[in-house]
Structure 1
Amino acid sequence: MESLFAITLGVLAATGTYLLLRARVFPVVLGLTLLSYAVNLFLFAMGRLVTGGAAVIGSGSSQYADPVPQALVLTAIVIGFAMTAFVVVLSLRGLGELKTDHVDGEEPRT
């Protein structure tokens, strides 16, 4: 389970970084989104992966799930969604004014 989780984190982070280095707006937005998903999964994993664990420390429970990483991930999802919406609107505005979707506003010379 942990190896599959680590591989998934690595693939998401590598794909997000690759897409961030592209020169077009949509791949950059998609790369930011994938990178934020990777960070959210990493934060979630910091709370220990426990199946069937209690959400709150009980009197007889030896395994419990830490609620702090879960709260951090929930907050990060909301902030990530808002930032993705903002970047999409910003890129659409840039596309409308600059007439190109290149990230620095200029088409590369060929």
Structure 2
Amino acid sequence: MFGGIRKSLTSFLRSWRSEASAGREKRTHNLFEAAAVYVSACAEDDQDQMDEAVSWVSPEALSFGVNELACRAVIALARERDKSPQTVARELLGLPTT
């Protein structure tokens, strides 16, 4: 498990360094900004915006950012609803709660 996390983080850091050194004159977007734009574009079914967000960071970085956004959203909803994160996640996906 930790090997996969380490591998993803290493890939992300490499892509972040190469993007930072390659595009000094153009604005770079961080992975959290890309994830926020990508997820909101998915919710609004905006393919152009999704494609733009995908171009900002590596696929690994975007995946990491989307995962982090999902975790934070579930935690926030769980606190708001006074339920466990597992219950909220299952409700959001339409799964039976345990």
TM-score of the aligned structures, taking structure 2 as reference length: 0.31
Which of 1 and 2 has greater Rg? 1
TM-score of the aligned structures, taking structure 1 as reference length: 0.29
Which is helix-richer, 1 or 2? 2
